[in-house]
Chains A and B, each alone.
Chain A
Amino acid sequence: MSVSEDFSREAEPGRGAPRFIPPRQHFFEILGSVSNSQAAVLAVLGVVGWLGAWELVHFFTPEAHQKFVPGPGQVISEIFHLIVEKNFVPDVGKSLYRVYLSFAVACLVAVPLGLFMGAFVKVKALINPTVGGWRYLPAASFVPLLLVYFGPTDLAKLTLLFLGCVFFLIALILDDVLSVPKELIESAQTMGASRGHIICRVIFPAAAPRILDSMRNMIAVSWTYLVIAEIVAATDGIGAVMMRASRFFHVETIMAGILVIGILGVMTDIIFRQASRILFPYTFMRR
């Protein structure tokens, strides 16, 4: 890198040779490249195209049913209406709090468990068969049980959200830990590293970028459970607002809720990606 820089400073760029014009890239270029500005334009095009398709569906819906298929404009203005008139922000806050808190607790359980199972085969043999089975139980089926135990409390909702993702999270993190190259661990052993050092200073940092990725994927699932959690005897939160709206056939409010959840989900995703860039810069240097 430094060598080529020195070169270009010495003489004019290219030393007199004409700039090479690479062949124009096809839109469907295999392994093609995309500049940041191109990516931004394409992303906006995608969103606009999607909104346009939605608007078309709304437009061609017969007059009598249009109430049930509001257009994007109506839904977006409904979001502002909700925020300004219906005190929607605390509901959003409540939903965010539920998703993030339950997810944080799930991570606190899943990371050490996945780490220990990945590091110690016997711990894995002890725990994994049980955890593996739990994954197949649909979280929604715990709703009646949680209502009996906790009633229509916040705790019931947090527990449901927790149950919805923790077992998958454990399985994913276990995979991440198991995919740490054996040679990395063995070379630490030949340096005389203790077990504690190997787990905390080798396996964990080696698996951490993938673990964060798994978290990013699982928190999306958490968002999908949010509505189930808040539909059941909820008084606040985005899901509760949507549930109330459904009783009065306020379709645009329901759709506004869906859209808000989508936006929050995308924002969560971006936060996780940024965190990954900041925490693990070395994984982004060459791709």
Chain B
Amino acid sequence: MKLVEPRHPAAFDNNSIAGQSYNQLEAPICVDRVTKEYLGGRRTALDAVSVDINANQVTALIGPSGCGKTTLLRLIAGLEYPTYGDVKMHGKSIRGPGPERGMVFQAYTSFPWLTVAENVARGMKIQGVPKKEQQERAEHFLRLVHLEEFARSYPIELSGGMKQRVAIARALAQNPEVLLLDEPFGALDAQVTWEMEEMVVEIIEREAKTIILVTHDIQEAIYLADRIIFFTRQPGRIKADLQMDFKNGRRFLKKEDLLAEPGYLDMEKQLYSMMREEIKGQTS
């Protein structure tokens, strides 16, 4: 397992901002027999789901539409509560949202009245980071997502992909211990998605982070994740929990390098057939 790497000089001691001191090898998030019902029990989004999310790994949640991926992410974020069971962070039950769990939403969530740089600095401002450090880190993360030229622009001037990069920079700048990404590239076209995926790999390389990525794109999941958790369609249960061992812990800065990797095709085939099973289950 990869331990925390040295960081950018403008960065920070790992525990100073949102992250509390924690053991790198421990699972920071434990989902314990979680059932989530909606509409007074008439709809079950998640059915007795248990999973431990490992530190400094990318865990992808994948499954057909409506299987409860967003629901699980929102439970971890503390934006909703389970009906049964419990979601814990470092052994403590999650009782609301907090800066140690940063989130990038599927919809655009930049604050339109703030410039791009102010958007990125907002999380730090909330946490009382000194002004100067705010600026430095905002600059650093804007460079990371290749938006340094747009620091003074307003979100309305940006394209969809650029807005989503702002959201990612903003979530990273708040230095959360766990980063929750809900289909961050869902609204983007294929080529921009591809660029963004490579950017995420670049970021993971530099900033060791525990990331939970919701996606319905099989290739994206394999490319970015160390581990893929596959959900069944309604009610959402865990169908498979796959380690991406074929990657041997390597990350590929170019997506095409992954395709040549032995074991990649088998993994993709396996996931496709699982997806087909789920879709069939729906029509029959």
Question: What is the interface of chain A, defined by CB distance below 8 A to chain B?
Answer: 181, 183-184, 186-194, 197, 202, 205-206, 208, 280-283, 285-286
Given contacts A190-B99, A191-B127, 13 further A-B contacts (CB under 8 A): A183-B109, A184-B109, A188-B126, A190-B97, A190-B180, A191-B99, A192-B97, A206-B113, A281-B154, A282-B154, A283-B156, A285-B154, A285-B157
Residues of A close to B96: CB separation below 8 A = 189
Chain B 122-176 residues near chain A, CB threshold 8 A: 122-123, 126-127, 154-157, 167, 170, 174
Specify which chain A residues have a CB less than 8 angstroms from the CB of B156 in the assembled complex.
Answer: 282-283, 285-286
| CB atoms of A184 and B101 under 8 A apart | no
Chain A residue, CB-CB nearest to B123: A191
User: Smallest Cβ distance from A255 to chain B, in angstroms?
Assistant: 44
Which chain B residues border A194 with CB–CB below 8 Å? 126
* Given contact pairs A186-B97, A191-B102, A192-B99, A197 touches B126 in the complex (Cβ within 8 A): yes
Shortest Cβ distance from residue B117 to the other chain A in the assembled complex, whole angstroms: 14
Closest to A197 in B: B126
Give B contacts to A, CB under 8 Å: 18, 77-79, 96-99, 101-103, 105, 107, 109, 111-113, 122-123, 126-127, 154-157, 167, 170, 174, 180
A187-B112 contact in complex given A192-B126, A197-B126, A285-B154, C-beta closer than 8 Å: no
- Minimum Cβ distance to chain A for residue B181 (Å): 12
* 9 A-B pairs (CB sep. < 8 Å): A186-B79, A186-B97, A187-B103, A189-B96, A190-B98, A190-B180, A193-B126, A194-B126, A206-B111
Is there an interface contact between B79 and A191, defined as CB atoms closer than 8 Å? no
Residue of B nearest to A281 (CB): B154
Q: Which residue of the partner chain, among B105, B113, B122, B154, contacts A191 with CB atoms under 8 Å? A: B122
Contacts of A188 in B (CB 8 A): 122, 126
**Candidates B105, B127, B174; contact of A183 at CB < 8 Å:** B105
Other-chain contact of B105, A187, A197, A280, A281 (Cβ < 8 Å): A187
With contacts A184-B111, A280-B113 known, is A191 near B126, CB below 8 A?
yes
Give 6 nearest A-B pairs by CB, closest first: A192-B99, A282-B154, A191-B123, A189-B97, A187-B109, A190-B103
In the complex, which residues of chain B have a beta carbon less than 8 angstroms from the beta carbon of A282?
112-113, 154-156
User: What residues of chain B lie closer than 8 Å to A183, measured between beta carbons?
Assistant: 105, 107, 109
- A119 → B minimal CB distance (Å): 16
A190 to B99, CA, bound (A): 5
Q: Is the CB of A181 within 8 A of B107?
A: yes
Contact B101 A190 (CB under 8 A): yes
Residues of the B chain whose Cβ atoms lie less than 8 Å from the Cβ of A285:
154, 156-157
In contact, A206 and B18 (Cβ under 8 angstroms): no
Residues on A with beta carbons closer than 8 Å to the beta carbon of B155: 282
Write the nearest CB–CB distance from B176 to chain A, whole angstroms: 8
Inter-chain contacts of A191 with B (CB < 8 A): 99, 102, 122-123, 126-127, 170, 174
Instruction: Report the minimal beta-carbon distance from A280 to chain B, rounded to whole angstroms.
Output: 7
Are B112 and A206 neighbours in the complex by a CB distance under 8 Å? yes
> How many angstroms between the C-alpha atoms of A186 and B97 in the bound complex?
8
Which B residues are in CB contact (< 8 Å) with A181? 107, 109
